[in-house]
Amino acid sequence: MSDCNNDTTTHGASKPGTEEVKSNSEESSMAQESPKNSAAEIPVTSNGEVDDSHEHGFNRDLKRSLPAGLGLSETQITSHGFDSTKEGVIEAGAFQGGQRTQTKGGPVILADEIKNPAMEKLELVRKWSLNTYKCTRQIISEKLGRGSRTVDLELEAQIDILRDNKKKYENILRLAQTLSTQLFQMVHTQRQLGDAFADLSLKSLELHEEFGYNADTQKLLAKNGETLLGAINFFIASVNTLVNKTIEDTLMTVKQYESARIEYDAYRTDLEELNLGPRDANTLPKIEQSQHLFQAHKEKYDKMRNDVSIKLKFLEENKVKVLHNQLVLFHNAIAAYFAGNQKQLEQTLKQFHIKLKTPGVDAPSWLEEQ
């Protein structure tokens, strides 16, 4: 009996051990089956590639289930196999929605819009640089005596005369301005001297008549000096307009004509050099382009030459008319002033419609004019 009890006890004690072995074996078998199951869940195509259609479907379902506030970014879930150390990695990128296919063409159009103005500016800079180089080369070659220049003898002579006359007119203008300043000071001194004589004639009874004569004389001279000063200032204003506006405008056209002449000679020289060289498939397009540019600059040169000729003609007519009147005015005013002929001096100013401003008297208001 004791033996049986011992056996029973031994058998009963071995059952928990057997159950522990079974549980351990089940856990190891489950651990071995888990990677197999995860590997078995990955679909494989006929070519041996992984089919990720289920993954994209899951991503699409996940994006649909996201709230509207999370629509600013696109969430992508990437699953890895059993060999990877990362599982369930979530990648977030900029959400573009259904415009993903349109982003390919958008940047190209924007790039073209930005590129075209830049290319146009570069082309303008290239043309300007080429034209400047050719004109500079032409100027240097002319100064060194190596290059030829187009000369219109008649027109060049008229331009030289105009520039020389401008210098002489500027000298006359400067001297007339000096005379006006000195005459103004003299008139101011005569007026003060006349006031001093008039004051002394009232205080000195013995020399009352003598001081009175001198006071009247100085006041008369000051009045005539103001009249002459008005004529001289009118002469200065007219000559200044002729020199610094009319003649200067014509000289600006002359400068444009000279620039057109330099460009014309530069492209003419370039065309002559190309014509002296060989003619083949490479040089013929360059010759045709040079011929086209030469013709364009020739037309510009001819136009500017005609403009200068017309302006010089009208300037000569205007100059003769203006200077004739101003010289007559200047002569008559100076002669009448130093002759003491006050009536002739006033008549001269009326002849040329010159109005003098009375010192110390303000201009009339618009009510008085009406």
> Do 55 and 35 contact (CB within 8 A), yes or no?
no
35: Cα within 13 Å, side-chain hemisphere: 7
* DSSP conformation class of 94: E
DSSP 253-268: HHHHHHHHHHHHHHHH
Does 245 fall in a domain?
Answer: yes
DSSP 199-232: HHHHH-STTHHHHHHHHHHHHHHHHHHHHHHHHH
Pairing of strands 73-78, 89-94: antiparallel
Does 41 fall in a domain?
Answer: no
pLDDT in tens, 206-224: 888 888 889 998 998 899 9
Nearest of 270, 300, 303 to residue 288 by alpha carbon: 270
Output the six-digit token pair for 108. Answer: 């190209």
Distance CA 359, CA 354 (A): 16
Grouping H, G, I as helix, E, B as strand and the rest as coil, residue 53 is helix
Distance CA 312, CA 250 (A): 7
Question: What was the pLDDT predicted at 151?
Answer: 83
Question: What was the pLDDT predicted at 19?
Answer: 45
What separation in angstroms does the CA of 171 have from each of 164, 166, 168, 236, 248? 11, 9, 5, 12, 15
- For residues 80, 83, 85, 90, the Cα torsion angle rounded to the nearest 10 degrees is 0
Nearest of 294, 300, 251 to residue 271 by alpha carbon: 294
Question: What was the pLDDT predicted at 102?
Answer: 45
Strand partners, 73: 94
Output the six-digit token pair for 213. Answer: 């004569």
Nearest of 15, 5, 316 to residue 165 by alpha carbon: 316
Which parts of the chain have pLDDT scores under 70?
Answer: 1-115, 356-370
> Do 243 and 111 contact (CB within 8 A), yes or no?
no
What's the number of domains the chain is made of? 1
Domain containing 265: what range? 175-352
Does 299 fall in a domain?
Answer: yes
What separation in angstroms does the CA of 198 have from each of 201, 220, 242, 312? 5, 13, 44, 57
Distance of CA 63 to the CA centre of its chain: 53
Does 170 fall in a domain?
Answer: no
Output the six-digit token pair for 339. Answer: 């002759």
CATH label of the domain that carries residue 217:
1.20.1270.60
Scored b (16 or more CB within 10 A) or e, 134-150 reads bbeebeebeeeeeeeee
> Do 96 and 75 contact (CB within 8 A), yes or no?
no
Distance CA 263, CA 273 (A): 15
- Kindly report the number of other CB atoms within 10 A of residue 59's CB atom: 16
Question: What was the pLDDT predicted at 181?
Answer: 94
Distance CA 325, CA 353 (A): 12
Backbone angles phi, psi at 90, to 5 degrees: -110, 120
List of residues 6+ apart from 82 with CB closer than 8 A:
35, 38, 39
Question: What was the pLDDT predicted at 357?
Answer: 63
Does 76 fall in a domain?
Answer: no
Does 121 fall in a domain?
Answer: no
Does 232 fall in a domain?
Answer: yes
Question: What was the pLDDT predicted at 185?
Answer: 94
Does 191 fall in a domain?
Answer: yes
